[in-house]
Amino acid sequence: MKILFFGDIYSKSGRDVIKKYLPILKEKYAVDLVIANGENSAHGKGMTKKIYDELMGMGVQAFTMGNHFLKNSDILKWLDSVNNIARPLNIDGVVEGKGSVVIDTVKGKVRITNLLGRVFIREFECLNPFSCLEDIVDECEEKVHIVDFHAEANGEKKSLAYYFDGRVSAVLGTHTHVQTADNRVLPKGTAYISDVGFCGAYESVLGIEINDAIAFSKDYDFKKHTPAENEGEVCAVILDIDEEDGKSKSIERIHIIPN
């Protein structure tokens, strides 16, 4: 089974680049399932129903989220009416949605779980991601299980990946918006990358207008936080998974930048 996973889609530039490249990548790699992190898809903050529909129309079949998923409260109105969005599992106080969902594909069921890290994540008081995932892994029947670990610290992400090596198909880091070059399959068959990266404006600082980001870093000026809109980059991975036992055979990095 081939799964295409896009890192955080950021605002319109991110959506535009998905529209442009998703069909090309899907055909090139004979993809069975397309997953994307959608936490920044609506103007950098969360996801609206309009944008969910737009991305589904482009061919994204399932979504993960992250620390920004409640930055636009629109999602709380419709999250329970869809079954293909995994929002962070290990948070308290949110009743809407699920942290782990199951998607049907032509090659069988795929479980998708979204976790938040506990290092430098300020939006939520996070429960222990190890024990929350352990509960799911112990109970679930699906062989193929993709975990999006939305976290800042690579050490935290890789520790979780080794802890669950052989028990989930992939642990894919998201959140930093910068793709790392450490993609590999761990000894017991779990595919890993510290961060898939993001899909959004190439001339930006993690998707944000350059001058706004400079003001933030240089002068602690938080006033503007505008999404940059220009030709985008695509960061994604292709997973090749044995659907019989759920082990990964390979994880390939994709990074497309404007010409």
> Which residues are annotated as catalytic?
68
Give whole-number Cα distances, 150 to 54, 203, 215, in Å: 23, 23, 26
Output 8 or 142, the one with its CB closest to Fe ion: 8
Number of helices (H) and strands (E) in the chain: give both, helices first.
Answer: 6, 14
Alpha-carbon span 37 to 259, nearest angstrom = 25
* 152, amino acid identity: E
Output 8 or 156, the one with its CB closest to Fe ion: 8
Greatest alpha-carbon span in the chain:
54
Rounded least distance, CB 219 to Fe ion, Å: 23
Tokens of residue 21, six digits: 């490249």
Rounded least distance, CB 39 to Fe ion, Å: 5
Quick one: CA dihedral 193, 237, 45, 98, positive or negative? negative
Alpha-carbon span 64 to 9, nearest angstrom = 11
Comparing CA positions, the residue from 34, 49, 69, 104 lying closest to residue 254 is: 34
Residue 133 φ then ψ, to 5°: -70, -35
Rounded least distance, CB 9 to Fe ion, Å: 9
* 26, amino acid identity: K
3-class secondary-structure state, position 237:
strand
Output 29 or 216, the one with its CB closest to Fe ion: 216
Residue nearest to Fe ion (CB): 8
Rounded least distance, CB 16 to Fe ion, Å: 17
227, β-bridge pairs: 208
Rounded least distance, CB 24 to Fe ion, Å: 23
Output 189 or 207, the one with its CB closest to Fe ion: 207
What are the residues binding Fe ion (CB under 5 A)?
8, 40, 66-67, 175
Output 67 or 183, the one with its CB closest to Fe ion: 67
Rounded least distance, CB 42 to Fe ion, Å: 12
Output 40 or 204, the one with its CB closest to Fe ion: 40
84-113 core/surface letters (b: 16 or more CB in 10 A; e: else): bbbbbbbbeeeeebbbbbbbebeeeebbbb
Task: Decide: 63 and 52 in contact? Cβ < 8 Å.
Answer: yes
